[in-house]
Amino acid sequence: DTGVSQDPRHKITKRGQNVTFRCDPISEHNRLYWYRQTLGQGPEFLTYFQNEAQLEKSRLLSDRFSAERPKGSFSTLEIQRTEQGDSAMYLCASSYRGDGSYEQYFGPGTRLTVT
Amino acid sequence: AQKITQTQPGMFVQEKEAVTLDCTYDTSDPSYGLFWYKQPSSGEMIFLIYQGSYDQQNATEGRYSLNFQKARKSANLVISASQLGDSAMYFCAAHYQLGGSEKLVFGKGTKLTVNP
pLDDT classification of B17: cutoffs 50, 70, 90: very high
pLDDT classification of B28: cutoffs 50, 70, 90: confident
Residues of B in contact with A40 (CB under 8 A): 108
For the segment A46-60, the average pLDDT, to the nearest whole number, is 90
Is residue A99's pLDDT more than 70?
A: no
**pLDDT attached to residue A62:** 87
Is residue B87's pLDDT more than 60?
A: yes
For the segment A23-45, the average pLDDT, to the nearest whole number, is 94
- Best probe of the B interface among A99, A104, A112, by most B CBs < 10 A, is A104
* Residues A79/A83/A85/A87 CA torsion (nearest 10 deg): 60
Residues of B in contact with A101 (CB under 8 A): 50
Could you give the percent of chain B with pLDDT greater than 90?
A: 78
What average pLDDT does the structure give for chain B? 93
Of A19-23, A29-33, B15-19, which gets the smallest average pLDDT? A29-33
Whether residues A42 and B91 touch (CB distance < 8 A) is answered with: yes
pLDDT classification of B101: cutoffs 50, 70, 90: confident
> How close does chain B come to A106, measured CA to CA in Å?
6
From the list B100, B103, B107, the residue facing A42 with the nearest CB is B107
**pLDDT attached to residue A28:** 87
Is residue A103's pLDDT more than 60?
A: yes
Is residue B55's pLDDT more than 60?
A: yes
Number of Cβ pairs < 8 A linking chain A and chain B: 60
Is residue B39's pLDDT more than 70?
A: yes
Q: Which residue has the higher pLDDT, B78 or A58?
A: B78
pLDDT classification of A46: cutoffs 50, 70, 90: very high
Contact A109, A6 (CB under 8 A): yes
Of A4-13, B41-50, B76-85, which gets the smallest average pLDDT? B41-50
For the segment A78-98, the average pLDDT, to the nearest whole number, is 93
**pLDDT attached to residue B96:** 84
Contact A82, A16 (CB under 8 A): yes
**pLDDT attached to residue A1:** 56
Whether residues A41 and B4 touch (CB distance < 8 A) is answered with: no
Whether residues B44 and A55 touch (CB distance < 8 A) is answered with: no
Contact B116, B15 (CB under 8 A): yes
Please tell me what DSSP assigns to residue A16: T
- For residue B91, give every residue at least 6 positions away whose Cβ sits within 8 Å of its Cβ, in sequence order, or none: A42, A43, B6, B36, B37, B38, B39, B45, B106, B107, B109
Write the CA distances from A81 to A62, A65, A88, integer angstroms: 11, 9, 15
Is residue B1's pLDDT more than 70?
A: no
Hey, is the C-beta of B56 within 8 angstroms of any chain A C-beta? no
> How close does chain B come to A53, measured CA to CA in Å?
10
